[in-house]
Chains A and B, each alone.
Chain A
Amino acid sequence: MTLDQVKPGYGGIITAVGGEGALRHRLLDMGLTPKTHVMVRKVAPMGDPIELYLRSYVLTIRREDAAKIQLKEVSPV
């Protein structure tokens, strides 16, 4: 399952981070690395971007970028 399909209130463990160049580097730098648990907390009023919770902090990314992140063991948090 990719991160953009995860409903608010659900979370899972990252298995792979796709994308390339600056975007991918940034995702990894911000702590979206494999084996990390990430939860979707909220969706912006216009449906995009989404709000994530990981490593005890809050991060926001766009849906199209979230689609490049693979998750496993998605369940309610």
Chain B
Amino acid sequence: MSDLLALAGNQNCGKTTLFNCLTGSNQHVGNFPGVTVEKKEGPIKGHKDMILVDLPGIYSLSPYTSEEVVTRDFILKEHPKAVINIVDATNIERNLYLSLQLMELGIPMVIALNMMDEVRASGNSIDVELLSAHLGVPVIPISAGKNEGISDLLDAVTETVRHPKPPARMDFCRGEVHKAIHSIAHIIEDQAKTSGYPLRFAATKLVEGDELMIKALHLTSDQKHILNHMVENMEKALDMDREAALADMRYTFIEEICRDCVVKHRETREQVRSEKIDRLLTHKYLGIPIFLGIMLLIFWLTFSVLGAPLQDLLDNWIGVGTDWLEGVLVSAGTSEWVRSLLIDGVCAGVGSVLSFLPIIVLLFFFLSLLEDSGYMARVAFVMDKMLRKIGLSGRSFVPMLIGFGCSVPAIMATRTLSSDRDRKMTIVLTPFMSCSAKLPIYGMITMAFFPKQGGIVMFALYVLGMVVAILSGLLLKSTIFKGNPVPFVMELPSYRMPALRGVLMLMWEKAKDFIRKAFTIIFVAAIVIWFLQSFDWSLNWVEDSTDSILASIGSVIAPLFIPLGFDDWRASTALITGLTAKESVVSTLTVLTGAASDAQLSAVLHTIFTPVSSISFLAFTVLYMPCVAAFAATKRELGSLRAAVATAAYQTSVAYIAAFVIFQFGQLFFG
């Protein structure tokens, strides 16, 4: 039996760095059951019998966010042998606020006092032993970024697991709060025991007015009455309501111990440096241009300078591999359809998606630099006002921008959003940002119909995507995502050098994630599309894809698009194959029309579309559900297939309506 350990702490206190330090590369990433909150776990290096679970970065154990509820549920239900609480020593007051609540859970705890190097370097100091004596738990000074103090921490943890002792001190209160907590503890003792809640934690949460706890304990109406009476007395005596009283009690206790243990002459060098950097990066006039400049630089590096050659290289390798496989298959004398399945279906389908890998890895490299350096919080600060109107916060800006490159990493990047609601809404809206794979489609149509106004048409399509995202945001905000958004009360952490190891591990994790998708859902989708394209309804092999099942499905759904102005089966078939990857729309139209040159293709397109219906076709392409790779990412990040299907259905309906409106109005004016 291995021992379970939990790692808990605030955001931006070096928790991930410490986790990587303790577990090395041996990590498993998943979700906590029932919620889309990420859960990472792995055995501790050199202690294979200890499994460490990384809990979400939180500031309190309130019942208001899924991250905080997950944390308290995990500790209460999974009974870890010990909690490692990481505390940022440069920001000790606010960090200890969570520590006090964790201690009330009665699980043995070790405090890892991180960033002690920064405290010392700036001439400040913390009396670690005295702090430990005040808190009644071991306190170990470390600097996770420099790998200092880790073995001491492990010694303390091993010792705690071997001789478990709950925190020696849980009583941080005095006066009126003390009176209330202790009297309530008396009357709920039995219920706390039967429902398995630590008494002290239960009593504190009841005094605080925590709805989850009131429900969980099944208080009788008598008990509720007494509880309310005591709380009222406390509130009157303190001239403060219950929530403020409890927060005040914890912070007052923390201020007292800090007065004893912490000597702070000045801000740390990192804090002073951050203020200077922010003079530029969040500058009144320069802040936004600098941010856009940084994003432009990242796009340029990802999509042209570094990404394009890597993508070509990978394409070549895939081509060489495919040729080799084809040679093997031919010499083995396999039948034509087997070869077609493996070459045209699997290799072509998975291969075209896999060639996106360099771009995804590169984007995540830059994104994690932005996140780990502390800049992402500034982006949220600078851009918040713009996104607030559609019910999101500034944090959603970056995933949406990445959506212009590729929806897949954009959807994967929503992981960094701290609110579940914002995350879901951003996932739904991001694909409206026109991704780069759609550019060939725009190119094809504008070349045929608007050779002179290509630029304007493309610009209009990008604007259309954004406008629809805004309208969608307004709609979703007042329907499905109604209710209060998570408050925008966000720390701006000190700027720090990102740990290279963490950045590389994130890249590797995202690459693995993407490759897994390519070989599961995308693999299946490629085979299905290949099958539909290669056989007719009596399962006979077809030479000409115009006789295939896909073509007949295309013909069947073609009438659906009459109100949008294009009812040709080749257009609807191209929209279906566009689901494997958007650029397939172009190759499918080329194949189905049998066009041998661009000029021929343009000519045939004129028989399929009118200028007005070509615009409605483009509008539909901009907005309808993203490709399977993005769909797979949506499913993973939303944590449910049903939600992903609903999202795709929503996006496709929006596309339909928009294209309908565009075509009908277009007919009025130009038809």
- A residues near B, CB below 8 A? 17, 21-31, 33-36, 41-49, 51, 55-62, 65
Q: A45-B284, A46-B386, A57-B491 are in contact. List 13 more A-B contacts (CB 8 A).
A: A22-B64, A27-B487, A30-B94, A44-B287, A44-B381, A45-B287, A47-B385, A55-B93, A56-B90, A56-B91, A60-B491, A60-B492, A61-B487
Q: Which of B174-182, B239-247, B434-442 contacts A (4 or more CB under 8 A)?
A: B239-247
Contact mask for chain B residues 19-48; partner A; CB cutoff 8 A; 1 contact, 0 none: 000000000000000000000000000000
Indicate which residue in B93, B274, B484, B491 contacts A23 across the interface (CB closer than 8 Å). Answer: B484
Give 22 pairs: A residue, B residue, CB < 8 Å, sorted on A. A22-B65, A22-B487, A24-B243, A26-B64, A26-B487, A28-B247, A31-B94, A31-B97, A42-B278, A45-B288, A46-B288, A49-B385, A49-B488, A56-B90, A56-B264, A56-B271, A57-B94, A59-B489, A59-B492, A62-B384, A62-B488, A65-B489
Q: How far is the CA of A17 from the CA of B493 in the complex (A)?
A: 23
Q: Are A44 and B65 in contact (CB under 8 A)?
A: no
Contact with A along B377-390 (1 / 0, CB 8 A): 10011101110100
Residues in A whose Cβ lies below 8 Å from that of B90: 56
Tell me if A's interface is mostly helix, strand, loop or mixed: mixed
- A42, A48, A51 — most chain B CB neighbours (10 Å): A42
Interface residue? B59 (CB, 8 A): yes
Q: Tell me the B residues contacting A by CB distance below 8 Å.
A: 59-60, 62, 64-65, 90-94, 97, 240, 243-244, 247-248, 251, 264, 267, 271, 274-275, 278, 282-285, 287-288, 377, 380-382, 384-386, 388, 484, 486-493
**B488 and A17 contact, CB distance less than 8 A:** no
Q: Distance in Å from the Cβ of B79 to the closest Cβ of chain A?
A: 25
When distances are taken between beta carbons in the complex, the residues of chain A under 8 Å from B486 are: 22
Shortest distance from the beta carbon of B667 to any chain A beta carbon, whole Å: 40
Q: Which residues of chain A come closer than 8 Å to B384, judged between CB atoms?
A: 44, 48-49, 62
Q: B380's closest neighbor in chain A, by CB?
A: A60
The majority secondary structure among interface residues of chain B is helix
Q: In the complex, which residues of chain B have a beta carbon less than 8 angstroms from the beta carbon of A28?
A: 243-244, 247
The answer to whether B487 and A65 have CB atoms under 8 Å apart is yes
> Across the two chains, which residue of chain A brings its CB closest to B386?
A46
| A-side contacts of B275, CB under 8 Å | 41
Scoring B92, B284, B487, B493 by chain A CB atoms within 10 A of each residue's CB, the highest score goes to B487
A23 CA to B393 CA, complexed, in Å: 14
Q: Tell me which residues across on chain B come within 8 A of A36, comparing CB atoms.
A: 251
A49 to B393, CA, bound (A): 11
Return the chain B residue nearest A56 by Cβ: B91
| Chain B residues with CB below 8 A from A65, complex form | 487-489
Which of A25, A46, A48 has the most CB atoms of chain B within a 10 A radius of its CB? A25
